[in-house]
Structure 1
Amino acid sequence: MTVWAGIDIGNATTEVVLCTGVDGSQVQASGRTPTRGGKGSLRAVQGAAQLVRRLADAQGLVVDRAAFAPTPPVSSAVERVRLAVRPTGRLTVVTRSAATTAGDDAGVGVPVPVERLGEATSEYPIVACATRQWDYGAVARRVNEAVEAGRNVVAVLTANDEAVLVSNRLRVGVPVVDDVDVRHALSADLVAVEVRQGAGPLQRLTDPFWLADVFGLRDDERADASAVADSLFDSVCAVVALDGATRTTIACPQPEPTGGDEALLVYLADIAAQANSRRGSVAVDSLVMATLGGGDQAPADVAALGAALGVPVTRIDAEAAAARAGALTTPGVTADVVVVDIGGGTVDVVTDDARVVLPGAGQLLTSATATALEISRSAAEYAKRAEALTAVTVQLVEDEHGRRRFLDKPVDGKCTGWLLTSAPSGLLPFTSRISGAEWRSWRLAAKRMVIGGNVMRGIDKVAPDAGGVLLVGGGAGDDELVRAVSEQLGHRVAVGRGNVRGQLGHRFAVAYGLVALAAAAH
């Protein structure tokens, strides 16, 4: 009885299957491990050999032969590019959100430091500005004294997180916004402030005609007012400044992908638009880009693997053919199905006679998530994978379906109101800037555009008339990715997930296919 080892060394993980039988069809064991040293390296080959020996020892087997497809690494370089912001001339948005606000009104006036309110003329409206050294009591006292002296204070800005404390001590009802870059506001000629408490989003600062009127803009500046107004939709507070001179906008050059036609560029603004995200809830001023590289490196050959294992190794020249051979053992599929292997860096689309490798898969999705939420890549790697929980209290969480449950172990009190995702160490808080429903909408839109869109590109190249698509590889384990691909392809195309030999699941298509092809040729 010949014991075969099928070895698939990938960019991220290495999969191994041990099979017996004349045609190598009887699966005895399977396992995977992170690829060490990079695909195609001697270290990766040695790591694969160690995994083979561990599996064989656990099953009491002695490996007789191995099947391997030496392939160079296909690296997917992921890059973030910040885009030029839409110019707004003399207008700038000082802030569009705050920790707390008070009041329910809008006001436009000359910015004046609180310590100089008594010197201000009573002829013009005033926006009182308090830097961080002024506490709420002193700010309220200075504003009240100015109002009693006849100054027309129409709004208050403070650098500290004290809007409600200030407002509760004022004798006049004006909008109060905290966490403001007060020095920026003080450098302006005029400042407009609006706060809405429970009355919906902004009304004045989202009206370009109102902005043009109160700031006295020229006709050629009305487009700037429109750009500012558009950026503030969905906000409930904002501060807009009019500067004496037009600020210089440095345009970022359009990126030039090095991967030719195969490079993938994803604009975060497009994801936000498809998800109908609130303005300001996610970053939209960047794009993420994936390109191919590394294919010119000579990989470790079968001789290296044979030396590490001490057994003969059959070389299979077409890894794509092995992936297809393994995937087609999935129960219920037909021979005309298109096999799509979703990895960390690339998406491989394989038919009987064609294959295309496209950059832009799991790593690009991670980069898009990290950039949009302004979080670390490690947090984004876990957050992108599945549904999140919202920490209602330290022990009560709510899932994306509105179901609530109590945790066995409470989370840190600082996590209340945050979204939580599962990580090896437990529940990981990753953002508090959006709700669970908003995160779900953005996450699904990102998967449709990054993975679903890339699969569409590949199918258009090799099988535009495909009637069925079978997903394999690590990415196929994400239920939302399966949904994303299905939504992109439409109802005319059946989309399913591989289950190699009806028992190995979606990850071992290449490893098992290598054995199948080698045993048939032996």
Structure 2
Amino acid sequence: MTVWAGVDIGNATTEVVLCRDLDVVASGRTPTRGGKGSSRAIQGAAQLVRRLADKHGLTVERAAFAPTPPVHSTVERVRLQAQRTGRLAIVTRSAATTAGDAAGVGAPVPVECLDTVDPGRPVIVCAGPAHGYAAVAGLVNAAVAAGRDVTAVLTANDEAVLVSNRLETALPVVDDVDVEHVLGAKLVAVEVREGVSPLQRLTDPFWLADAFGLGDEERSDARVIADQLFDSVCAVVTLSDSAEPVEPVPIPELPAGPVHVVRLGDIAGEANSRRGSVSVDSLVMARMGGDGEAPAEADELADVLGVPVTRIDSEAGAARAGALTTPGLPADVVVVDVGGGTVDVVAEGDRIVLPGAGQLLTTATATALDISTSAAEYAKRSEAVTAVTVQLVEDEHGRRRFLDRPLDGRSTGWLLTQAPSGLLPFTSALSGAEWRSWRLAAKRLVIGGNVLRGVQRVAAGVTGVLLVGGGAGDDELVRALAERLGHDVTVGRGNVGGGLGHRFAVAYGLVVLASAGIAPAQPTLEC
């Protein structure tokens, strides 16, 4: 019986299987060194073969290899042009604390100048950081008692509740406001809602148009402002004498060749995300290209291993051959290999490689949440927990558990994801349910959309899709693809050889094809 080594050098990892004929004896993987197609990668693969062989007491007699150049998937973010709002601007749509349950419109006035205001003129009081809560409340009470029409209070300090508790008249109060910016406006509208009630006035474009006296040509600006404030419980909107100039952002040009583009606004819309909870003003794209260098050939691997190496011309063919050893498959199943940079869709007799997979999902997550790429890499993978206290967390299903070791107190209220070092805080802007909705929507649109595109091009009407590669280990991705492809398509994960799982489709497929009798490349022996 011949002992075979199937060697699959990928962009990120190298997989090796050792077989006696077609019976798997050992398998292993290691990070690819030096880049796919390089001589250094060949050396790393050979070392893995030797380690596995030594561990299991085997002598490798033949190897199978498919020389392929690397496919570089470049991922980038492009910021989109902000929507025009003319003379209107949102100063804030959230605050550390608020008080009151009302809306008010008026001219902005410094708190120290209230005694100079015409009693019949509605005003918004603006208190800078030099004014404490007691002084602000006293000046406002005195102004109201003197007949001034105060409709709201804005303060730069984190003191909304302290101010509100000392007011003799109930008014909406918002803190942490840039009052210097507000004082430059012509009119200001303020709304605060208590409890879980969303805004009612500032989300109504007709109310905004009436309150600010807008003409017909500015009604579209009011509509944009109102749409952006949905889901908020407080907001401050200003009207200036003239529209602020908007620096134009060039329309992004799509690169030539294969490209996959995803708009963050589409993901937020699919997830029904709260306005302002995730970024929507960008798009992310992945494009593909090689470095033009010829890959290391089978004879180089033969030289390093010292055994004959069979050269397989099609890595995609090997992936399909390995994947089809999964038990229970229909004859016409399409194999989909989900990697970090690309999605390979392989049908019988046809294949397509599309950019946009795990790396693109990481970039979309980092951009939407405004977090680091490393944090996004872990956050995108699976469910998160919310830190209720330093030792109590709640998962996305509402189940609570106590931790063996307390968290840093600064993590309370944050979403946490599992990382090699433990639980990693990554955002406090979303609840667990909101993050779950966004994450699943992102997987449907970023990777699911790519797979759907590939399946439609190589095997329209297929009823079965088999996932292999690193991405197939994501349970949520399997669900996302099933939802995207529809109920008529059965989606499952590969179990190569009935026991290797989803990662070793190419490595085992190389052995399957090589053992069919393709002539091997002989090693070059040094004298």
CA distance, structure 2, for counterparts of residue 504 and residue 471 of structure 1: 13
- Aligned counterpart for 1:164 among listed residues 158, 161, 164: 161
- Partner amino acid, structure 2, of 1:10: G
Deviation for aligned residue 1:98: 1.4
Aligned to 1:257: 254
What does the per-residue CA deviation read over 1:132-166, in whole Å, with 9 as the maximum and x for residues that have no partner?
34443343344334334443322122233222222
Deviation for aligned residue 1:281: 1.3
- Aligned counterpart for 2:201 among listed residues 192, 204, 224: 204
Q: What's the secondary structure of 1:67's corresponding residue?
A: strand
- Quick check: 1:26 aligned with 2:28? no
Pair 49,243 (structure 1): closer, same or farther in 2 beyond 3 Å: same
Question: Alignment identity in percent?
Answer: 73
- Partner amino acid, structure 2, of 1:306: A
Q: What's the secondary structure of 1:521's corresponding residue?
A: coil
Aligned to 2:457: 461
CA distance, structure 2, for counterparts of residue 103 and residue 148 of structure 1: 19
What does the per-residue CA deviation read over 1:267-323, in whole Å, with 9 as the maximum and x for residues that have no partner?
111111111111111111111111111253322222332333333322111000000
- Quick check: 1:290 aligned with 2:286? yes
Aligned to 2:522: none
What does the per-residue CA deviation read over 1:490-516, in whole Å, with 9 as the maximum and x for residues that have no partner?
121111100000111000000111111
Given the two structures, how large is their TM-score scaled by the length of structure 2?
A: 0.95
- Aligned counterpart for 1:325 among listed residues 308, 321, 324: 321
CA distance, structure 2, for counterparts of residue 282 and residue 269 of structure 1: 9
- Partner amino acid, structure 2, of 1:177: V
Greater Cα offset, 416-425 or 173-182: 173-182
What does the per-residue CA deviation read over 1:29-83, in whole Å, with 9 as the maximum and x for residues that have no partner?
1111122222222222222222222212211222222211111111111111111
- Quick check: 1:10 aligned with 2:6? no
Aligned to 2:73: 76
- Quick check: 1:246 aligned with 2:218? no
Aligned to 2:92: 95
- Aligned counterpart for 1:433 among listed residues 416, 419, 429: 429
Deviation for aligned residue 1:462: 0.4
- Aligned counterpart for 1:512 among listed residues 508, 523, 526: 508
- Quick check: 1:398 aligned with 2:394? yes
Aligned to 2:345: 349
- Aligned counterpart for 1:443 among listed residues 412, 424, 439: 439
Q: What's the secondary structure of 1:307's corresponding residue?
A: helix
- Quick check: 1:300 aligned with 2:300? no
Residues 91-490 of structure 1 mapped to structure 2, 5 A cutoff: 91-198=88-195, 200-260=197-257, 262-294=258-290, 296-490=292-486
Q: What's the secondary structure of 2:26's corresponding residue?
A: strand
CA distance, structure 2, for counterparts of residue 4 and residue 51 of structure 1: 14
CA distance, structure 1, for counterparts of residue 156 and residue 40 of structure 2: 55
Structure 1 residue ranges without an equivalent (≥5) = none
- Partner amino acid, structure 2, of 1:196: R
Greater Cα offset, 461-470 or 50-59: 50-59
- Partner amino acid, structure 1, of 2:375: A
Structure 2 residue ranges without an equivalent (≥5) = 519-527
Greater Cα offset, 507-516 or 173-182: 173-182
What does the per-residue CA deviation read over 1:382-422, in whole Å, with 9 as the maximum and x for residues that have no partner?
11111111111111111111111111112122211111111
CA distance, structure 1, for counterparts of residue 213 and residue 282 of structure 2: 32
* Contact 1:120 1:151 (C-alpha < 8 Å) held by counterparts: yes
- Partner amino acid, structure 1, of 2:102: D
* Contact 1:175 1:193 (C-alpha < 8 Å) held by counterparts: yes
Aligned to 2:521: none
CA distance, structure 2, for counterparts of residue 80 and residue 278 of structure 1: 22
Greater Cα offset, 488-497 or 143-152: 143-152
CA distance, structure 1, for counterparts of residue 445 and residue 226 of structure 2: 28
Residues 49-88 of structure 1 mapped to structure 2, 5 A cutoff: 49-88=46-85
- Partner amino acid, structure 2, of 1:495: V
Pair 139,52 (structure 1): closer, same or farther in 2 beyond 3 Å: farther
Pair 489,119 (structure 1): closer, same or farther in 2 beyond 3 Å: same
Q: What's the secondary structure of 2:295's corresponding residue?
A: coil
Paired residue total: 518
CA distance, structure 2, for counterparts of residue 49 and residue 222 of structure 1: 69
Pair 17,145 (structure 1): closer, same or farther in 2 beyond 3 Å: same
- Partner amino acid, structure 2, of 1:359: P
Deviation for aligned residue 1:427: 0.7
- Partner amino acid, structure 1, of 2:436: R
Q: What's the secondary structure of 1:6's corresponding residue?
A: strand
CA distance, structure 1, for counterparts of residue 8 and residue 140 of structure 2: 72
Given the two structures, how large is their TM-score scaled by the length of structure 1?
A: 0.96
* Contact 1:366 1:381 (C-alpha < 8 Å) held by counterparts: yes
Pair 163,44 (structure 1): closer, same or farther in 2 beyond 3 Å: farther
* Contact 1:343 1:474 (C-alpha < 8 Å) held by counterparts: yes
Pair 118,44 (structure 1): closer, same or farther in 2 beyond 3 Å: farther
Q: What's the secondary structure of 2:425's corresponding residue?
A: strand
Pair 65,118 (structure 1): closer, same or farther in 2 beyond 3 Å: farther
CA distance, structure 1, for counterparts of residue 306 and residue 177 of structure 2: 68
CA distance, structure 2, for counterparts of residue 329 and residue 28 of structure 1: 16
Greater Cα offset, 290-299 or 6-15: 290-299
CA distance, structure 2, for counterparts of residue 213 and residue 484 of structure 1: 45
What does the per-residue CA deviation read over 1:169-197, in whole Å, with 9 as the maximum and x for residues that have no partner?
22322111122232321221111110000
Q: What's the secondary structure of 1:244's corresponding residue?
A: coil
CA distance, structure 2, for counterparts of residue 138 and residue 311 of structure 1: 87
What does the per-residue CA deviation read over 1:435-480, in whole Å, with 9 as the maximum and x for residues that have no partner?
1111111111111111111111001100002111100000000011
Greater Cα offset, 73-82 or 169-178: 169-178
CA distance, structure 1, for counterparts of residue 300 and residue 137 of structure 2: 77
CA distance, structure 2, for counterparts of residue 509 and residue 143 of structure 1: 73
Deviation for aligned residue 1:216: 1.0
Q: What's the secondary structure of 1:414's corresponding residue?
A: helix
Q: What's the secondary structure of 2:124's corresponding residue?
A: strand
